[in-house]
Amino acid sequence: MYRVKAYFTITRPINGFMMFLAVLSGIVLSYEKNINPTTLLYAFITAFTLNGSSMIFNDYFDREVDKVNAPHRPIPSGLISPMNAVVYAFILGVVGLASSYMISFTCMMIATASYIATLLYNMRLKRTGLLGNLIVSIVVATPFIFGSTMSDGYVSERIIAFIIPVILSNTGREVIKGIADVEGDAVRNVMSIARTKGLKKAAEIGAILYLSAVAFSPIPYLLNYVSEIYLPIVLIADAGFIDSSRSILKKPTRENALKVKNQTLLWMLIALIAFILGGLL
């Protein structure tokens, strides 16, 4: 039973679900808002499996780091062997890319480019620090582009107004995550801001990125891309980002960075809900 749970949790299902919500956001924020039940199912499979594959490869390449940072995870705890993890990740990757092809060739190309970027990040680019953080954030923003392309057949300029705050906030989360991972990152020589500039500087940069995302959040409404319902919901997310910024600046410790990192997923989820409802209504 524990092994079955391990094979499920290693895919980070919450992240996969949020990736699908981002695809849905891309659809409802597009010009055509073309939602087809069949392609939506393929989109869910694509988002869930490619995210899961990427998370597994991340854990595989970070298995020595996780012995320090997160020994409870399936690979360092021994619930999943490294070889089985690679096979599992490969299968999920094939399923995800095949599913994206069932939507369109263009969608498959977007999914493939994003998937290759995550593999390069996991294998080599994570060590670069801020550059690696940016790559992760661009990958996180890709589902919006994927969804927009599903609907319109191309990437519209509308989507830029939404992916900028996504990239800013997620990069802030990655920088703050480096505070929590600083000890384990030394094992793999990851040049995170926390390791190269110190915990306080990482907290400052992470907070600046959060607040920059907050500053960008009204733009979709000002450009008339979303309805009025967007504002009160996104303000809740903004308040969360502001509070998390205050918290990490006040206490840039490993324990608090873990707390802020997890809180950020909630603020991002609320922002996704604002995007979807604002676009639909």
> Which DSSP string corresponds to 92-131?
HHHHHHHHHHHH-HHHHHHHHHHHHHHHHHHHTGGGGTHH
Which of 130, 152, 174 is the C-terminal boundary of a domain?
152
From CA 120, how far away is CA 4, in angstroms rounded? 28
Q: Verify that 12 and 146 share a domain, yes or no.
A: yes
Q: Verify that 123 and 216 share a domain, yes or no.
A: no
CATH number for the domain including 92? 1.10.357.140
Listed as ranges, residues in the chain with pLDDT below 50 are none
Render pLDDT for 57-77 as a digit per residue (tens, 0 to 9): 999 998 888 888 788 899 998
User: Would you tell me how many other CB atoms lie within 10 Å of the CB of residue 189?
Assistant: 8
Which of 109, 128, 152 is the C-terminal boundary of a domain?
152
pLDDT of residue 69: 78
- Of 24, 54, 58, 64, the C-alpha closest to 41 is 24
- Of 102, 7, 121, 98, the C-alpha closest to 50 is 98
Q: Verify that 135 and 193 share a domain, yes or no.
A: no
From CA 266, how far away is CA 87, in angstroms rounded? 31
From CA 151, how far away is CA 136, in angstroms rounded? 24
- Which residues, other chains included, contact 128 with Cβ-Cβ below 8 Å and sequence gap of 6+? 191
Residue 215 lies in domain = 156-281
Q: Verify that 170 and 197 share a domain, yes or no.
A: yes
Q: Verify that 165 and 253 share a domain, yes or no.
A: yes
Q: Verify that 8 and 146 share a domain, yes or no.
A: yes
From CA 222, how far away is CA 273, in angstroms rounded? 18
- Number of structural domains found in the chain: 2
Which of 118, 152, 186 is the C-terminal boundary of a domain?
152
Q: Verify that 107 and 224 share a domain, yes or no.
A: no
pLDDT of residue 185: 83
CATH number for the domain including 216? 1.20.120
Q: Verify that 29 and 109 share a domain, yes or no.
A: yes
pLDDT of residue 25: 93
